[in-house]
Structure 1
Amino acid sequence: MKHLILLTILLLPNVLFGQSLSNLYKKVSPSVVVIEAKEKVENTDGKVSYMGSQGSGVLISDQGEILTAAHVVNNAENITVIFHDGQKFPAKVVRLATVTDVALIKLVYYDKNYPVAELGDSDVADVGDDIFIIGAPFGLEYSLSKGIISGKSVEKTRMEGFTFAEFFQTDAAINHGNSGGPMFNMKGEVIGLVSYIVSESGGFDGIGFAATINVTKQLVVDSDKRRWTGINGVLVDQELARLLNVPQPGGILIQSVVALSPAYMADLIGGNVPFYKDDQKISIGGDIILAVNDIPIVSEDNIIAFFKSILIKDEEALNSFKLKILRGGKVMEVILRFPENR
């Protein structure tokens, strides 16, 4: 009899935890969405095809605003958001920060019938805390995985300690399709967005990362100072600059431009000729950005100087950027304008 009582006491916390997690899942899962993104791909022969991908996201306002991972939507020409009841809505990118892999998208129209997730405080979360993740790994929609916060990494720029990347490490299972999905604490609050995994097998090896919600809010929710351009580009180093006859030791080589984006409206051109450098495939033949608002893009210091300059400018000054570009061996200027209704 004593052994039976002891066994019951030992098992009771696990039973209660299971019920708590089950109840939390039922409460918060309706705010989680599946995101389908279609990217236009132009082949070397001029033929155009569309490549589809799937990710996850979470509804954060009754205005139809959704947080997801930047890499899910950055190059998407068409974005479709699917709720738990199967309802589908088109969406557009509002703001995006690739360095932290977070994005804010907004439904084109919305009937406000779905619960909004509560955003927590990731600063108070600590290593060892229990968390759970909801997403669509391998297309298995609204899958639940649980684990702990295994670590926390913070990266800062040199401009007055400005944090531009902060991630939770976790052992909760993360796979393709989980990207952009919410990480919840045991109060049912969102404290992170799933970003990427570190793997030798190609699958989940127990090490995944999620961008913290506080930095996400700072970069794409609470700030109007970060814009989505529709540009997919790579930094040009000195060696690549020499190979491409760039008249300065750096720049941004445009790989592709999303249709109907600000970059598209500015007639910027992406590359369509495959080129291999250090086993990395890039596309050349597109525009190369040499300067933004007269700040040359030649080094990390210059890029930081540009971001620091836009952080202190007023709202009106952020409605457009002046770009100096290299196209077909000629240097020219274009204006990149952003819509007012962001």
Structure 2
Amino acid sequence: MQDRYFRRLFATVAAAALLMTLWQALPFLEILLVTQNAEPRPVTPRGDLAADERATIELFERTKNSVVYIATAKAVVDPWTRSIYNIPRGTGSGFVWDERGHVVTNYHVIEGASEARVRLSDGRDYHAVLVGASRRHDLAVLRINVPFKPPAPLMIGSSHDLKVGQKTFAIGNPFGLDWTLTTGIVSALGRTMAESRDVVIRDLIQTDAAINPGNSGGPLLDSAGRLIGVNTAIFSPSGAYAGIGFAIPVDTVNRIVPQLIAYGKYLEPSLGVEVDARVNRLARARLGFDGVMILRVLPGSSAQKAGLRGIVLYPDGSFDPGDIIVAIDGEPVRTVREMEEILDRHAVGDVVKVEVARGGRLLKFDLMLEAAGG
């Protein structure tokens, strides 16, 4: 009697344990059944792309082949064997300027390099020759020989009529990640950036399109796919993108690049007179004038032919001040830098109206600009 009771109790406990085990295993059994019957979910049709998406995609497809990847190297001499070999120096971006194989990039991309190679979007790689450069404008021109199906040059736009808020598109190779597209707007205009103590780049376009190391030299485009600037620098405490990038305006590029191609250098426009910023500051403080004092008129220059005068020194150390330039083309001139900025917007051969102060009188002259040092 007692044995039968314990057998029944044992059977009841065993059955309860089995039920508990099955209950605990039930979720896993359900997962197993669901997994065995799992299928991909049906795809929901997207519909047409938004108009701005289609426009951005079309712009990238139309212009990317005109953008290039630039890799530079620097020659190093082995002190033991005296052998010369090239080591990688850096990378940057550029773009095709014309059908003759000229490629535009930043001066700082190729500065100090002994060799540069240009890679096209289809993978073709070419040795590049330096044609010309302007450190003052952070621009350089390379040339490559592409015998078969050369990429088309970018369309050229304008920058003098840009408005804050216009869309911008940057294509380049940030951190070596080739043919990257970023988008943004024109954030500001007329920015100034000091690359060094003696190189100040003015009238820059500010954009929030992401620009990072490696984007330098690449194009900044408008919504029509036209070149409006050359990406040149960022403002960032960390060295990476922080929402503020700068581009050289295309109006400057379109004025400087043809000179680099034709002459290998920038022909600085000059009035044919000698001035000095330090001397001018001291003279202004002493004499109280507002303008740029002409120290010397260059022989044979248009300034000499027009009758401009430099300072006259006397044996006793006294002097008569020369003509003081107070305006060019109606724009006031107070310092040597302001005068240089105005002239830099012109080209050799242009005629400008120069207003000078002489002995209490204001005189006006039409002067043809000539190459400085020429």
After TM superposition, the structure 1 = structure 2 runs for residues 5-16 of structure 1, keeping only pairs within 5 Å, are: 15-16=50-51
Matched, 1:19 2:54: yes
Structure 1 counterpart SS, 2:55: helix
Residue 88 of structure 1 deviates from its aligned partner by 0.9
CA contact (8 A) 1:34 1:55 kept: yes
In the other structure, the counterpart of 2:265 is 227
Residues 143-186 of structure 1: CA deviation (Å, up to 9, x unaligned): 0000001111266xxxxxxx973311011111111000000000
Structure 2 counterpart SS, 1:123: coil
Change beyond 3 A, Cα 1:103–1:13: farther
Q: Matches of 1:209 and 1:16 in 2, distance apart?
A: 28
Which of 216, 221, 226 is 1:184 aligned to? Answer: 221
Residue 112 of structure 1 deviates from its aligned partner by 4.6
Residue 84 of structure 1 deviates from its aligned partner by 0.5
In the other structure, the counterpart of 1:28 is 63
Identity fraction in percent: 28
Q: Comparing both structures, which one devotes a greater share of its residues to strand?
A: 1
Residue 47 of structure 1 deviates from its aligned partner by 8.6
Change beyond 3 A, Cα 1:23–1:40: same
Q: Matches of 2:162 and 2:246 in 1, distance apart?
A: 14
Residues 207-262 of structure 1: CA deviation (Å, up to 9, x unaligned): 1101111101111225645628xxxxxxxxx9xxxxxxxxxxxxxxxxxxxxxxxx
CA contact (8 A) 1:97 1:220 kept: no
Q: Matches of 2:169 and 2:146 in 1, distance apart?
A: 30
Residues 119-161 of structure 1: CA deviation (Å, up to 9, x unaligned): 1111121111001000001111000000001111266xxxxxx
Amino acid at match of 2:74: E
Structure 1 counterpart SS, 2:109: helix
Q: Matches of 1:221 and 1:166 in 2, distance apart?
A: 20
In the other structure, the counterpart of 1:78 is 115
Amino acid at match of 1:21: T
Residue 111 of structure 1 deviates from its aligned partner by 3.5
Q: Comparing both structures, which one devotes a greater share of its residues to helix?
A: 2
Q: Matches of 1:154 and 1:200 in 2, distance apart?
A: 18
Q: Matches of 2:121 and 2:259 in 1, distance apart?
A: 27
Q: Matches of 1:114 and 1:180 in 2, distance apart?
A: 17
Q: Matches of 2:142 and 2:127 in 1, distance apart?
A: 10
Which of 176, 182, 185 is 1:145 aligned to? Answer: 182
After TM superposition, the structure 1 = structure 2 runs for residues 74-113 of structure 1, keeping only pairs within 5 Å, are: 74-108=111-145, 110-113=147-150
Change beyond 3 A, Cα 1:122–1:112: farther
Residue 203 of structure 1 deviates from its aligned partner by 1.1
Matched, 1:165 2:189: no
Amino acid at match of 2:265: R
CA contact (8 A) 1:120 1:190 kept: yes
Amino acid at match of 1:227: K
Q: Matches of 2:245 and 2:68 in 1, distance apart?
A: 20
TM-score under structure 2 length normalisation: 0.54
Q: Matches of 1:76 and 1:111 in 2, distance apart?
A: 27
In the other structure, the counterpart of 2:157 is 120
Amino acid at match of 1:58: F
Q: Matches of 1:145 and 1:314 in 2, distance apart?
A: 39
CA contact (8 A) 2:191 2:206 kept: no
> How large is the RMSD of aligned CA atoms in angstroms?
3.9
In the other structure, the counterpart of 1:244 is none
Amino acid at match of 1:23: E
Q: Matches of 1:172 and 1:95 in 2, distance apart?
A: 28
In the other structure, the counterpart of 2:89 is 52
Structure 2 counterpart SS, 1:99: helix
Q: Matches of 2:79 and 2:97 in 1, distance apart?
A: 41
After TM superposition, the structure 1 = structure 2 runs for residues 128-277 of structure 1, keeping only pairs within 5 Å, are: 128-153=165-190, 165-222=202-259, 224=262, 227=265
CA contact (8 A) 1:100 1:166 kept: no
Residue 92 of structure 1 deviates from its aligned partner by 1.6
Q: Matches of 1:126 and 1:95 in 2, distance apart?
A: 31
Structure 2 counterpart SS, 1:72: helix
Residue 15 of structure 1 deviates from its aligned partner by 1.4
Structure 1 residue runs of 5 or longer lacking an equivalent are: 1-11, 156-162, 229-237, 239-299, 319-342
| CA radius of gyration, larger in | 2
Change beyond 3 A, Cα 1:37–1:22: same
CA contact (8 A) 1:167 1:212 kept: yes
In the other structure, the counterpart of 1:336 is none
CA contact (8 A) 1:164 1:215 kept: no
TM-score under structure 1 length normalisation: 0.59
